[in-house]
Structure formats: C-alpha cells, structure tokens
Structure 1
Amino acid sequence: MKSFKNKYMIALLLITIALSACKKQWDERTEAVDQQLDKNVVQQIQENGNLSTFSGYLTKLGYDKLLAGSKTYTIWAPTNQALQGIDPATVNDTAKLKKFVNNHIASQVYLTTAPKPTMRVRTLGGKNVTFTSTTVEDAQITTANQYVSNGVIHVIDKAIPPKMNISEYIRSLNGVADKHKAYILRNDTNYVDTSKATVQSYDPKTGKPILVPGTGLVSINKYFNRVASLANEDSTYTYFVLTDAAYDAERNKVSKYFATVTNSEDTTMNILAGFNVLKDAAVRGMVPQTGLNNLVSVNNVPVPAAATAVVQSYSASNGMVYVVNSLPFDIKNKITEIVIQGEQPSFFARTDARGSMFYRSRRDKNGLTLNDIMIGTTATLPANFFAAYKLPNLYTCQYKIVVRAINDISFTTPTDIVESFNFGQITAPTISGGTIAPNDVVKFPAQRMGPVSFNGVPLVNWDEVTLPTPANKSATSLLTPPTNIAGGNPTTTATAANTINLTNGNLTVLKRTSINMYVIGANATAANTNNITFDYVKLVPIIQ
C-alpha cells in the first residue's frame, strides 16, 4: 500500500510540473500584444501601411514565401520613415539588399521579456544584434511583441544595417593606421583542410587521396588565432588600433629585445616587435569610451588606454574599435620574466636514472603548495649528473638569475645539497658511455644548501636567491644562507659563435635564440652527495 501511495505522489508531482511548464509558455505568449494568430509575419507586415517599404523589400527578395513557412521568426520591422535615408545603391543591388534585410530577421521567437537586461541575437545574415526590452542596436522599439502564427514582430524607428566585425573594420581602414593594418594582413594565410577538399583519385602505392587542386582551402589569420578571434561574430572584444606614429613608438621601445642572428629588420620590427606590441591590443567585452581605464588585455597585461587618445571609433558587430594615437605600454609588462619550473625538465644526463627522479607536490614554510623536482636521495648517480631545461626564444638582454629551492631531505645526519645552474647554447649533444656532456657556456659557481631542519631545529634554507651568491664564508655551517662554494665568480666560455655570455655577473643573451639550462649536481658519486632539487628558476630581464 505504501509503495502504491509513493508512486501516486510521484505521478501527481510530474503532472503538476508539466502543467506549470505549459502555463508558463502560455503566459509568455499572452504577454505579447496585438495577437494575430491567423496571420504569418509577412501578412501582418503587409497589412501595416507604415511598414510598406519594408514589405516591398521582402517581396522583392522572395521572402514573402520564405517567411510564410512553418519555421518561427523574430522580425524587427523599420517604419517607412526609418527607411527614407537608405542608400539607393543598397536597394537596387539584390545582394546588398539581402544582407540589409537579413539583419532585421532572426530565427526563433524573441519577446522583449527575454533580454536580462541585454542579449545578443544571431540574425539570418550571420551578424549578432544587441537586443534589450526597448531597443535593438540603436533603434527604439515603438511597437513590441506583435505575436502571429509563426513568430513575433517588433516595429522600430531606425533601420539596423549590418555592421562590419572588428576584422572587417581594420581591413577597411586607409591612411590612419596603415602599419597596424599591414601587420594584420601579413598574418593572413591559407591551408588545405583535407576533410573539405574534393578527392580526385587515390595514390595506388600509398592509398592516400589525391585532391583536386584549389579545393579544401581554408583561410585563417595567424594573429587572430594567437590573440583574439576578431572575425568571430560570437565573441565580443574591445580592440585598439594604433596610428602609424603610435605603432612606431611602441615598436621602437621593445625592438632591442628582439635582436636576431640574421639581424633582419623585417623579422625584428615587423614580426617580433610588432607582435609584442599588438598581442595586448585586445580586451574582452565591449567597453564604452567612457570606460577606458584599468583595462587588462586578453593576455592579462594592463592596457594604458585613454579616451583623450581616441581619434576614431567604431561600434562593430562583435565589439568596439578605437583608433588611438597613443597606447604607452609599460615596458616591464611587455618584456617579462621567464619562469622555469623544476618539475618540467627537457632531458637528463642519463636516461637510465629515472628511478632516482621524483616530481613532488608539497607545502613550503608558509603553507603554500609548491611543485618541484628531487633527484638522488638514496640512489647513486654519476658525478655531475644534471637535469636540462630548454628555454625557447629568449629576449635579447641581461637577466638576473633567481633560484628557489628547498632541501627537505631527512636523514640521521644533516645532508647538504650542492648544485650549480649553468646555461648553454643548443648544439648536437656529446655522448660518452651513455652520458650526455652539457654544453654549458655560462657557468655560475656551485651553491651549497643546507636542510630545512635537523632534530626539530629550523635551519636557514634557500627561498629566493639571486645568483651568484657571495663567496663561501663558512663551508661547514648549516646556519648560513646558500653560499658560493667555488669561491669565485661566474664564468663564460668565449667563442665567436656565442649568443650568450656574462655581463656584470648576469646572463646576457646577445641574439634571439633558444638555450638550455643545466642544473648540475656535485662532482661526487656516493649516495646523497650529488642530489639535485629546485622549485623554480626565474630569468628576470634587466630593463635598460
């Protein structure tokens, strides 16, 4: 009996929910005014003399038949007065007129109760329009929610011609931001998408398809792919276009940090420095000109925009565009530190020592989680064993080397860790007996690091230190900060081909290049005498 009662109550609840949902849909329907459920959207427009011009456009395009079907539509119908200023070139060109009319029509029904408070609605032309309870784009809704058999009509006091998106607007500019525009255009490229290409035949040997030439081509913009989808109608951005003078000023600030081996002006200025400047020209969302302060780019870099610098603006279909004569980025936000995480090595001195390598997640002395690498512990490693890290495409400047490492090895006696941080150009490795020799051109003296604690007594340990540390004052004391046990200065191997060296004790990158960082253990082989550990290394650019 109890089971029957439970089933009855559940069934009653489901019926109540269903009836409630139906009532909600009917209530939304009854919110519409001037219902003409025996007419479709075209018939309702045709009967309104104040919409005769727009009705004529629909008939001219054959939409009187298209919009009479079973699908539902929302139409924002401009009055005759609203259409008086339409360019005759648009009206007399079928393709242009179709784009114009399509921007006033959307699939599905959107009542003025739908926006909360705004919403973006995709039109038949592929553009999105901003819809509120009283407006669509810049047009006021004078008569709302005219519900008919296959949709709803909103009468508006202005036409809403299709807008360019941000990409289209940049491409339309002439004489105001030619260098910025040229950078965007040079990033246009095509590739063949085999899934969209036409197959002509198949190679009898490989079985691979032979495609019809010219089919399957897809156009992309590499800059948009890396920064922001400025041609995407469903994403909204605020984008800053720099005048030629502003673009040159920002590129000149950063160009010296992109010196190349070939010393190519085009590579340095138009590719590398240009991208460094423009990667932070996009901000997510639509920002009005009155709100151009405290902005952050899509790459989380402060954008120093000012309303007074705007020389031209445009409300695009997917955001706002501001042409500015100044966008003075702080160079410290453009030439930023490089962080190498200990738990992300590229390779090791030997690959047969993996049983001695540990990637750890733990807490530091402040209770914060850190991830690091620990190599060694009780295993025996070759002398001067190393972990190597590839550092791609460094800025050309001097770097301070900052290291954070924590020695938490716990044994019956305190165990020091001695390790060095060296840097070398990437060349073919020298391998002897299965061991790779590091090509370390720039060598910082080995550092001694005592354990975190011994017998419950906290000891001074590495936190963040800048290399090179002072020469060792007490090689046996565990209560001193990390020390330079080599008792000397960093060194560099001088060769004509060097792209890195030392300047005033700092790592210097002379030409844009990729290098390796080697974290090298002690020159010893007994267990726990050549351990390696570190949380991270920072290469901090010295801005000059």
Structure 2
Amino acid sequence: MKQINKGIICLLSGMALFVSCNDEWDAHYDRNGSVPQVSLMDLLRNDASLSTFTQIVEVTGTDSLLVSNQTYTVWAPVNEALINVDMTDRAALERLVKNHIARYTNPTSTQPGKYIYMLNGKRMAYDDAESFNGTSLEDGNERAINGVLHKLRDTIPYRYNFYEYLSVYPEYSKVYEFINRFVEKRYDASASVGTDSVFVDYNPMLYSYYYGIGHIDDEDSLYTMILPDNAAWDKAYAHISPYFTTYNANEAVADSIRDVQTGQAILNGLTFRGKVDDPASKDSLVTVTGNVIYQTSRYFAPYTKLDASNGLMYLAEGDLILDDTCTWNKEILVEAEYLNGRTTSTSTSAYVRNTDVNSAVQGVSNNSYLEVTNATGTAEVTFEIPQILAGKYDVYVDFVPPVIDGVALAEEKTRLEFRLVYPRADRNGTSNISRDDDDDPDLIIGGDSVGDNKVKTLKVWSALELPAANYYDGMWFMDENNSTDDVKVRTTLRIRTNVKASEVNVKYRRRFRVDRIRFVPVP
C-alpha cells in the first residue's frame, strides 16, 4: 500500500512538473515545427561521446524505456566520466542509469531548486541552467520525439538512502539482516483486481508508527541515522544481550527472544527525525522511538558523517556509543495512582488523592498519590513492575508524609514490609525476596515534625540483581494476537503494613501514602 501511494504522489508531482516546465518548451516547437522524429535511444546511439553510457543503458535493459512512447529526460555523462565504471556489476550499473533518467520533459529552463524525481525516486534539481544537482552540463536541450537529452561532464554522485547503504556494503550486513528479518507479505486490496491477489512487502521495523525505527528506505523522508558496522554491532550485542536473558523450556526459543530484543535495543538509539548536522549544538535529541539523548556531542563524536539521499548518516566503525539508561536500560517508574497492574487485599481500601499548589506537601509526582488503609487488618497493595531486565537495580519507593492531611496527623507513622516476586532464569516460575525486619528503623515511615513536609524516599534494596528479564518488545506488541493479558509471569512488588494488633493506634497506624516506585539501573 505504501509503495503504491508513494508512486501516485510521484506521478502527480511529475505531472505538475511536466505542465509547468513544458508550456514554453512546447510552444517553441509548435511554432517552428522542429521536433525531431527520433527517440532518445537514437540520440544516444548517434553520439560517439556517449557510447559508454549508451552501452550501460542497453546492458541494463533501460533502452526499452527510451524507445517507448512515454516521455523521459536523460542526463548522459560523457565517456571520460565513466572510465572507472565496472561493466560487470549489474546492480551498480542499474543504480547509475536510474540516477540519470527522469520521467517527463525537464529542460534547462526548469526553475532552479525545483525537485525532479529520478527513476530511482531520488530528488534532484537544477542549480542553474548550466548545472544539474552539482554536475556541470556540457550541452543540453537536445530534443527527441519522446523527451530531451542533456550531456553531462561528469556523473551525478549517487547518494544512497540508509537502507540502500546497509544493503550494498557487506561490512554493515548484520544490522541490515536484522532489520530485514521482519519483512512480511501483506495483501494489497487496492492493487488486487478480481481473482488476481497482489501482495506487497511490509516491514514493521520500518513502518510501524509506534515501534518502528523510521522509513529509512523512503526517499521522501528525512532522517539522521547512526549506522554500526559489523564490529560495532557485535560489540554492542555482547554488552546488551545478557540483560535480555530469559527462560523458555525450549532453549532455542529463549535464545531467539534474547536475540530479537537485543537487536531492537541497539536500533532504538540510532534514528532521529530530520537532518542533525551539528549534534553538539543540541541540548538534547529525541530518537524516532522516543528516547531522549542528552550528551549529544559524546553520542556522535567518533563517527564519520556522510550525506544520504534522505538525510545524514553517521558511520560507527568498530564501536557504538549507546547511552544505556537513555535508550534501552531505562529507569522504571510506576506511579502508584495508576490502576493498571495494581491490586489490593480484600479488606484494604485504596484511594487516589490529588495535590495542588496549596497542599502541605509539594513535589508529589504527577500531583497524585495513593492512600492505602485498612481499618480491620493489614493494609496491603501490590504493583506490577513492567519491562524488567536481567541486571542490577536500586529499588526506591517514594511516600507522601501524613502531614498532607493536616498538622494533627504529622506524627502518624507505620512500619512496612516489602516483597518482590521476579522470574527465574533456570526454570519456569518465580523467586522472591522480602524486607520485613521489625527492628529496622528505615522501614518506619511518618512520625515527622510539623515542618518536615517533603516526599520521603525509602531505598528498599541496593544493587538488587535480578536473574531474568520480564520484558515484552515492540515486535511482540505489534502482533494483534498479543495483549498484556497474555503475560504469564509477572514481576510484582508488594507493600504492606507490618503492625501488630497491640501496636495499632498506640505506636502505629495501618495506613500509608505511596507516590511512586522507582527501579534505577545500576551500571
């Protein structure tokens, strides 16, 4: 569908260009009646200085276009410009030819800077009447019955788009093969007629709005992309893949999951919208996948910058700089007031409370928190912790002090216990870790003085190492058959009061106020 729509756009653009550029041109030939009755291919074959380009046109089968009734413009390089062309490289020859031919008549009187779409979809323009896309014209406006021929002193430099560059140079084969592994055939209803079904290639890695890395194969798009060569890819892969360790009874499936998630983690930090010519001048940059990069000068510093036909490439040769905690190993935040993934015990009540500029406690995340209470027993709430990786985390819980409800409650306090349930790496199922020491003063929250009205942060665990990832990647979410209800093993954090019956209303209350939970990666 996308390719067909793009073709329609190009066709309409070309038709508009044809009309605007050709009024004066056609009027001239209508007046003097001097339109030659020869084809563009005849013009090429009759010019000895263009014999090499003519041979390339014939080898690639493009001669059938230049003798047809359709109208084309040819910018033909002279023989001297093609001395070093490898006549045995068919793919390179096809790239060269399509880089020098466009549909419709485009004389040198075309307005400078106006885009002309070549046969390969790349956009080019006259700099002036004597230069086209940076290449000088030796002669121009030789008319044929099916178009016009211009003669160039040199070849038009071929600028690859990102996808082409990755496909052509073998040192970038690993990132290219990873992107390409997701190509699928999709039925195209608009192109299918009767019983003739048309299927087109679709790659969600490129075209998905929410999870794709960008239309890096599209000449009409504009991006900046870091391209890791195979050595850089391997180095990044070795660093990242252990974090996506997972369990599956079928070891090959587990390895496949880790492979896909690692590759996506690398790609998530590579593509940016528009042309970023001077990254160091930016305070921050946002990737196509929504990740914010702050140390922009460091992030791009060692790379070689190269023009692409649809943006700017930065070539990462041998090493790839990824800000881990910005692109893939990010801090996990769970806002307590969000209902999704939150459960309470039977007799526990949980109320979402809001704050404003007049509240006694300022700095509450999202200006909302969860008040958890139980009048008859233990107050208990459990939160799902999404997208956990296999690695180390500092685990924090932020609490709102009781003074939020008035000075009379400022000294109210409670004792808490925590229990984290997480997946195992050696077999299906979970392990757990608890923190519930009655004598640990750090597990007591509240009891503050009247003036102490800041959000309180409790560090529950330091450098807690989790053995397996509980992570669901973009490709999984793109499958319409998957939903969060299909998640079998979940990572959860339970928070509850640890108050004996004899202590209720004497030393402690069975009530607490949770702002948010934070899992901060430890390098």
Q: Which residue of 1 aligns with 2:457?
A: 465
Are residues 1:507 and 2:497 paired?
Answer: no
Whether the aligned pair in 2 keeps the contact of 1:402 and 1:538 (CA below 8 Å) is yes
Whether the aligned pair in 1 keeps the contact of 2:362 and 2:455 (CA below 8 Å) is no
- When residues 97 and 401 of structure 1 are mapped into structure 2, their CA distance, relative to the original with a 3 A threshold, is closer
- When residues 243 and 60 of structure 1 are mapped into structure 2, their CA distance, relative to the original with a 3 A threshold, is closer
Q: For 1:113-512, what aligned pairs fall within 5 Å after superposition?
A: 115=113, 122-125=117-120, 127-131=121-125, 133-134=127-128, 137-140=133-136, 157-160=153-156, 163-174=159-170, 176-185=171-180, 187-190=181-184, 192-193=186-187, 195=189, 216=199, 218-220=201-203, 222=205, 225=208, 226-261=212-247, 266-267=255-256, 270-286=259-275, 291=278, 296=285, 298=287, 299-301=291-293, 302=295, 304=298, 310=304, 315-317=308-310, 319-320=312-313, 322-331=315-324, 333=326, 335-345=329-339, 346-349=341-344, 357-358=351-352, 360=354, 362-363=356-357, 370-375=366-371, 383-403=378-398, 405=400, 407=402, 409-411=404-406, 413-414=408-409, 416=412, 418=414, 420=416, 422-425=418-421, 441-443=433-435, 446-449=443-446, 459-463=451-455, 465-468=457-460, 505-512=462-469
Note the alpha carbon deviations across 1:75-127, whole angstroms, 9 max, x for none. Answer: 57456568756969699x99976993576436799987675xxx8664454x2
Tell me whether 339-348 or 412-421 shows the greater mean CA deviation. 412-421
- When residues 394 and 234 of structure 1 are mapped into structure 2, their CA distance, relative to the original with a 3 A threshold, is same
| Secondary structure in 2 matching 1:61 | helix
- Counterpart of 1:515, as a letter, is T
Q: Which residue of 2 aligns with 1:100?
A: 97
Whether the aligned pair in 1 keeps the contact of 2:237 and 2:262 (CA below 8 Å) is yes
Note the alpha carbon deviations across 1:478-520, whole angstroms, 9 max, x for none. Answer: xxxxxxxxxxxxxxxxxxxxxxxx6xx5533122234012343
Whether the aligned pair in 1 keeps the contact of 2:299 and 2:322 (CA below 8 Å) is no
Higher helix share: 2
Whether the aligned pair in 1 keeps the contact of 2:226 and 2:315 (CA below 8 Å) is yes
Whether the aligned pair in 1 keeps the contact of 2:139 and 2:151 (CA below 8 Å) is yes
Q: Distance between the aligned counterparts of 1:218 and 1:47, measured in 2?
A: 35
Unmatched segments (≥5 aa) in structure 1: 1-28, 68-72, 202-210, 428-437, 469-501
- When residues 408 and 320 of structure 1 are mapped into structure 2, their CA distance, relative to the original with a 3 A threshold, is same
Unmatched segments (≥5 aa) in structure 2: 1-19, 424-429, 437-441, 471-489
Q: For 1:523-538, what aligned pairs fall within 5 Å after superposition?
A: 529-538=509-518
Q: Distance between the aligned counterparts of 1:238 and 1:414, measured in 2?
A: 55
Q: TM-score, normalised by structure 1?
A: 0.59
| Secondary structure in 2 matching 1:37 | helix
Note the alpha carbon deviations across 1:331-370, whole angstroms, 9 max, x for none. Answer: 555533222222323132258988x532636358667973
Q: Distance between the aligned counterparts of 1:518 and 1:385, measured in 2?
A: 7
Task: Give, in angstroms, the shift of residue 167 of structure 1.
Answer: 1.7
- Counterpart of 1:507, as a letter, is L
- When residues 121 and 465 of structure 1 are mapped into structure 2, their CA distance, relative to the original with a 3 A threshold, is farther
Q: Distance between the aligned counterparts of 2:105 and 2:323, measured in 1?
A: 48
Whether the aligned pair in 2 keeps the contact of 1:421 and 1:520 (CA below 8 Å) is yes
Task: Give, in angstroms, the shift of residue 271 of structure 1.
Answer: 3.5
Between the two proteins, the alignment pairs up a number of residues equal to 435
- When residues 98 and 531 of structure 1 are mapped into structure 2, their CA distance, relative to the original with a 3 A threshold, is same
Structure 1 vs Structure 2 CA RMSD = 5.7
Task: Give, in angstroms, the shift of residue 421 of structure 1.
Answer: 6.9
- Counterpart of 2:389, as a letter, is L
Whether the aligned pair in 2 keeps the contact of 1:383 and 1:530 (CA below 8 Å) is yes
Task: Give, in angstroms, the shift of residue 305 of structure 1.
Answer: 5.6
Tell me whether 265-274 or 228-237 shows the greater mean CA deviation. 265-274
Q: Distance between the aligned counterparts of 1:45 and 1:82, measured in 2?
A: 29
Q: TM-score, normalised by structure 2?
A: 0.61
- When residues 400 and 78 of structure 1 are mapped into structure 2, their CA distance, relative to the original with a 3 A threshold, is same
- Counterpart of 2:446, as a letter, is M
Q: Distance between the aligned counterparts of 2:390 and 2:148, measured in 1?
A: 58
Q: Distance between the aligned counterparts of 1:152 and 1:420, measured in 2?
A: 83
| Secondary structure in 2 matching 1:65 | coil
Are residues 1:37 and 2:31 paired?
Answer: no
Are residues 1:541 and 2:521 paired?
Answer: yes
Q: Distance between the aligned counterparts of 1:359 and 1:232, measured in 2?
A: 48
Q: Which residue of 1 aligns with 2:479?
A: none
- When residues 412 and 252 of structure 1 are mapped into structure 2, their CA distance, relative to the original with a 3 A threshold, is closer
Task: Give, in angstroms, the shift of residue 408 of structure 1.
Answer: 5.7
| Secondary structure in 1 matching 2:234 | helix
Task: Give, in angstroms, the shift of residue 260 of structure 1.
Answer: 2.8
| Secondary structure in 2 matching 1:370 | helix
- When residues 460 and 152 of structure 1 are mapped into structure 2, their CA distance, relative to the original with a 3 A threshold, is farther
Q: Distance between the aligned counterparts of 1:394 and 1:466, measured in 2?
A: 22
- When residues 45 and 168 of structure 1 are mapped into structure 2, their CA distance, relative to the original with a 3 A threshold, is farther
Q: Which residue of 2 aligns with 1:61?
A: 65
Whether the aligned pair in 2 keeps the contact of 1:419 and 1:446 (CA below 8 Å) is yes
Rg (Cα) greater in structure = 1
Task: Give, in angstroms, the shift of residue 37 of structure 1.
Answer: 2.8
Whether the aligned pair in 2 keeps the contact of 1:240 and 1:324 (CA below 8 Å) is no
Task: Give, in angstroms, the shift of residue 403 of structure 1.
Answer: 2.5
Note the alpha carbon deviations across 1:278-320, whole angstroms, 9 max, x for none. Answer: 43233444456xx57578561333564667654x967345543
| Secondary structure in 1 matching 2:69 | helix
- When residues 443 and 96 of structure 1 are mapped into structure 2, their CA distance, relative to the original with a 3 A threshold, is same
| Secondary structure in 1 matching 2:356 | strand
- Counterpart of 1:252, as a letter, is A
- When residues 77 and 229 of structure 1 are mapped into structure 2, their CA distance, relative to the original with a 3 A threshold, is same
